[in-house]
Amino acid sequence: MSDLVATELDARVLTVTMNRADKKNALTHDMYSAIAGALERAHGDGRIRCVILTGAGDSFTAGNDLSDFAAGMPQGKPPVVRFLEAIVNCDKPVMAAVNGPAVGVGLTMLLHADLIYASEKATFRSPFPHVGVVPEAASSMLLPLAVGNAWANDIFLGGRVLTAAEALSAGLVSRVFPAASFMEECRKIASTVAAQAPNAMLQTKRLIRANRESVLERMRKEGAIFNEQLKSPEFMIAAAAYMQRRLPEFD
C-alpha cells in the first residue's frame, strides 16, 4: 500500500486518509490503487461497518495529480478505474469527510459516497473543460441528478468554486460542521452507522444504489472521451498553463 494513503481500523470504522498534504492530496496512480484496496477490503471484511474517506492537512484532495495525467495511463486497468469501481461496488456505507478543498475527482467521488459532510473550510470545484478534459466518475449523469442542472452547469461549465454553505444549499453535502470539531463529529456519526444492523444496512444501501449498472456504463462512456481529451492539444495547453501558474488560452 502507498504510504500516501493511511488507513486505520477502529471500532468497526475504517478511516482512509489521502495523505499527501504538501501536494494538497493530489491523487497519483499508487494512491488510487491504495484507496481501491482499502475499499475492496471494507467490502469483503465483516468487521468493517463504515468507511470514512478524508484528507490530511488542509485539503480533501486537489484531484488527479496533473503530472500523472500528463504522463499518461499505466498498462492494464488504470488505477483510477479500479478506484471508481471499488467505490461504486463497496457495500459498506462510505462517508466522505470533506475537510478542505475538493477539486476534480475530489468532488465527483462524493457522488458515490453515502454520507457527505463538509467542514466549513471545504470548497468544491470540478472545472473539467477548463483543464481540457470532461467529467468522469459518472458525474455527467450523477451531478445533475444530485444538485439539478443549474448548479451542475455552474460547476462544470462555469468552473464555479462552491463554499461549504453553497454545497449545503445545492444538496451536494448534507451537513456542515465547524472546522475545529469536524472529524470528531464525523467519527460520532460513523460510530452510530457502524452500530446498526449490518445486513439491513447493506440491503438499504443496495436498494438506494440500484442504478449501479447504468453508473458503470456512464463511467465507461466518459472514460473513452476523457482519454481522447488527455491526448489532445487542449489538455496540453491547460496542463502547461497550470504548471506555469497562468490561465490557459484556447484559440
Which residues are at the interface with ligand COA (CB under 6 A)? 23-24, 26, 59, 62-67, 101, 103-104, 128, 131, 242
Identify the bridge partners of residue 101 per DSSP, sorted by sequence position. Answer: 123
**Is-contact 216 88, C-beta < 8 A?**
yes
In whole angstroms, the minimum distance from the beta carbon of 67 to ligand COA comes to 6
| Interacting residues of 5 by C-beta distance below 8 A, sequence separation 6+ | 16, 17, 18, 19, 31, 34, 35, 38
In whole angstroms, the minimum distance from the beta carbon of 243 to ligand COA comes to 8
Q: How far apart are CA 137 and CA 155, in angstroms?
A: 15
Q: Which is nearer to ligand COA, 54 or 64 (CB)?
A: 64
In whole angstroms, the minimum distance from the beta carbon of 233 to ligand COA comes to 17
Cell numbers that stand for 241 in this block: 498553463
Q: Which is nearer to ligand COA, 50 or 131 (CB)?
A: 131
CA dihedral 221, 94, 157, 153 (to 10 degrees): 100
Q: Which is nearer to ligand COA, 56 or 103 (CB)?
A: 103
Q: Which is nearer to ligand COA, 187 or 235 (CB)?
A: 235
In whole angstroms, the minimum distance from the beta carbon of 104 to ligand COA comes to 3
